[in-house]
Structure 1
């Protein structure tokens, strides 16, 4: 998939010390892309918008808390 038009935004939950940085692009039709901001040319994860919403909802609801 061509991600050249992706508008990446850094997660507000990313640390300010240079670690744990996640960026998300939601401007692409039919896909949400996620990458590590420390490696922008590296691999990306792609989700359908519905799957991404379910994941974010699960995070907000504490479904992944240890």
Structure 2
């Protein structure tokens, strides 16, 4: 089974209240097969780091199934 991991931008009222209270008008979320995973990130770099961690974890799981 192949999983897709993406980063999506969230804007306006869809930004969580805590981030909006700090002045954030945009945030980023990690999507696994189109479903949000984890918290919203204040920067795209943070979201990309999380995406990389998801990919590493998924790849490690795949390698475990191949051996």
How high is the TM-score relative to the length of structure 1?
Answer: 0.32
Higher helix share: 2
Query: TM-score, length-normalised on structure 2?
Result: 0.32
Which structure has the higher relative contact order (CA within 8 Å, separation 6+)? 2
Which has the larger strand fraction?
Answer: 2
